Chain A
Amino acid sequence: MLKLLINSLSKEFYKQHAGLFLIGFYILFGMVDSSQPIVYQQSLLLISLSSPLGMVLVFISWFLYGGKAHFFISQRLKLHQYNFIKETGSLKRNTQLKLWLKLYSVILLPIFIYVILLIIIGLKFKYYNSVISIIVVFLTLFLGLAWLRFHSITFGFLKQESRWLNISLKIKKPFFSWPIFYLFTEQLLMLFVCKIISAILFKGVLWMFADVGNDIKVLLTALLASVICHSILVVNLLKFETEQLSFCRSLPIKTSNKIWNWLLIFTIILIPEWVFFTIAANYNLYIIASGYSFGLSALLFFITILFMMKLNTSSYLKFLLFFFFIVLYIILGNYYIQLTVLMISYSLLFYIFWFNKIDLREVK
């Protein structure tokens, strides 16, 4: 059973969050001189251990990650194809708890590695209070997640109808907005985490290159980091379209409308990033236009590539890795306008010539 859970839940979790892991990896290892990664990591750990504020920030990030994992599994369990997992509800309590603890130990592996490192450094530099709080908080998170999952599987049928659904916005939802409402109703936490990380990365890149000023290359690099953060939202949006909007394929809807819909959706999703970018660009119209077109074309390109890859998230991860580093060099080389035109043109050609030749429901 554990193997099945790992294959169906944890592997999927890692695949879907590949973009976030990629950015995290880059922040931890890619932004420092290659000769000093250990010193840099040790400094980061010591900053966290030496101040209560540092510890609180670390714990918040763990709980965000844990919450993300919890809601990811909850979302999966709502789907018919994951109904078999509910069979675990017939197992004894301790067996269930052990099962979920093992699964969460796989999902929380990045945090677990960080916990070990923090404890070793904490003991070495005699931050005993921090070490104790790390152990307590991590165990609370780890055991709490397993308990919550056990409880929702076993006693989920007792759950009262969520009032959230009843108080949700009573506004008319035109067709183009359905993917956005999908994010707000069924992927809210993912959207929230994505936006937080996107904002941190955007500001982080600007802070790193503060000495350069509001150079367009720096701003586009910050936007690139933010856009990559949205790669997971793109996966979910395409899955939503495949599973719940497939009926549209037999309706007389023009290809141009499909493309406009995506651009409109991405424009709305990136509103916070547009605000950051506009302020950082000092309201320079050329920079703003370049940034907006780059951001939109990149997300449209992501969804096009993911469509061509038939929603294969492993291939998508490899593409993201490739994309991130190549585009970074393209921006630094001042070829961002050509890149934007290329991404838009490629996406348009795909929708005009190949869109009807792929049915993602056939490759699920």
Chain B
Amino acid sequence: MLSLTNINKKYGSHEVLNFDEWKIGQGVHWLKGGNGTGKSTLFRIISGQSPFRGEVELNEINLKKQPILFRSKISFAEAEPQYPLFIKGKELIEFYQETRKSEKKEVEYLTDYFEMTAFLDNKIGGYSSGMLKKLSLICAFLGKADLYILDEPLITIDATSSEKLYYLIKTKASKGNSFLISSHQEINQVKLPLNTVFQIIDKQIVATHAEVTNQ
């Protein structure tokens, strides 16, 4: 499904990632590890935000050769989302809805699901960090993506929202969508069965726990 080959990523002279090949199939994959290991960099590469050396392909669609088509197949929620503070939550969602060709009922379902409907007419500048995170998750789940890339989705959201997020991921995964999730917190594998667990060690991605709970 997703394959990365001959990846090299540097910030100035500091090399963050350097590996020959990494492939994942359909399923839910957890990339764990502490701060500064390169998780967010890897996600920003796969989501087409950050330039890199090498090739990234999703279902044989090459990111460098077909960037628009590639981006239409993935959905990315950043660890620390940043949006213009003067726009309303509703305006951001409308933009995502249009860009990702999502239906209105999906918007209504997701905003209700994450209990954000009441705040959509407020400016983003007035949101708490948890609300901002939930807004970014709503935006990420809009439309049809083959691969959802969620960078630290559990930080700043409350326990109820975490439960809801687990359930949503599990439901989407059962319908054939794939997830690549990073988290330095432990993921509750009873609530969210994982197909593989990876870790970035010395610029390489290493499988630490394959087929953990393939239920």
| A contact set with B: CB distance below 8 Å | 165, 172-175, 178, 181-182, 185-186, 240, 243-247, 249-254, 356-359, 361-362
**Minimal beta-carbon separation of A168 from chain B (angstroms):** 8
User: Given A175-B95, A247-B83, list of 9 further CB < 8 A pairs?
Assistant: A165-B123, A178-B87, A185-B86, A243-B82, A247-B136, A250-B49, A253-B68, A356-B48, A362-B11
**Minimal beta-carbon separation of A257 from chain B (angstroms):** 10
B71 touches A178 (CB 8 A): no
**Minimal beta-carbon separation of B48 from chain A (angstroms):** 5
Known contacts A185-B86, A245-B84: does B99 contact A250 (CB below 8 Å)? no
A275, B85: Cα distance in complex, Å: 32
Q: Which of B49, B64, B86 contacts A181 (CB 8 A)?
A: B86
A64, B44: Cα distance in complex, Å: 42
A240, B47: Cα distance in complex, Å: 21
12 contacts between A and B (CB under 8 A): A173-B88, A178-B84, A181-B86, A245-B84, A246-B49, A250-B49, A252-B68, A254-B68, A356-B64, A359-B44, A359-B50, A361-B49
Chain A residue nearest in CB terms to B68: A252
- B72 adjacent to chain A (CB < 8 Å): yes
A182, B50: Cα distance in complex, Å: 25
A182 touches B86 (CB 8 A): yes
- B130 adjacent to chain A (CB < 8 Å): no
A173, B88: Cα distance in complex, Å: 9
A357, B45: Cα distance in complex, Å: 11
Mask: chain B, 82-103; 1 = CB below 8 Å from A; 0 = not: 1111111001000110111000
Chain A residue nearest in CB terms to B99: A251
A182, B83: Cα distance in complex, Å: 11
CB contacts (< 8 Å) of A182 on chain B: these are 84, 86
| B contact set with A: CB distance below 8 Å | 11, 44, 47-51, 64, 67-69, 71-72, 74, 76, 78, 81-88, 91, 95-96, 98-100, 123, 136
CB contacts (< 8 Å) of B68 on chain A: these are 252-254
CB contacts (< 8 Å) of B48 on chain A: these are 249-250, 356
A244 touches B69 (CB 8 A): no
Known contacts A181-B87, A247-B82: does B99 contact A252 (CB below 8 Å)? yes
**Minimal beta-carbon separation of A198 from chain B (angstroms):** 24
CB contacts (< 8 Å) of A252 on chain B: these are 68-69, 71-72, 99-100
The list of the 5 closest CB pairs from A to B, nearest first, reads A250-B47, A252-B72, A252-B71, A250-B76, A249-B49
**Minimal beta-carbon separation of A362 from chain B (angstroms):** 6
Known contacts A181-B86, A253-B99: does B81 contact A247 (CB below 8 Å)? yes
Known contacts A173-B91, A251-B99: does B86 contact A362 (CB below 8 Å)? no
A249, B48: Cα distance in complex, Å: 7
A247, B98: Cα distance in complex, Å: 15
A361, B41: Cα distance in complex, Å: 12
CB contacts (< 8 Å) of A240 on chain B: these are 84
A362 touches B83 (CB 8 A): no
B76 touches A359 (CB 8 A): no
B78 touches A247 (CB 8 A): yes
CB contacts (< 8 Å) of A245 on chain B: these are 84
A246, B82: Cα distance in complex, Å: 8
CB contacts (< 8 Å) of B44 on chain A: these are 359
**Minimal beta-carbon separation of A181 from chain B (angstroms):** 6
**Minimal beta-carbon separation of A312 from chain B (angstroms):** 14
**Minimal beta-carbon separation of B28 from chain A (angstroms):** 20
CB contacts (< 8 Å) of B136 on chain A: these are 247
Chain B residue nearest in CB terms to A359: B50
B84 touches A244 (CB 8 A): yes
B74 touches A250 (CB 8 A): yes
CB contacts (< 8 Å) of A247 on chain B: these are 76, 78, 81-83, 136
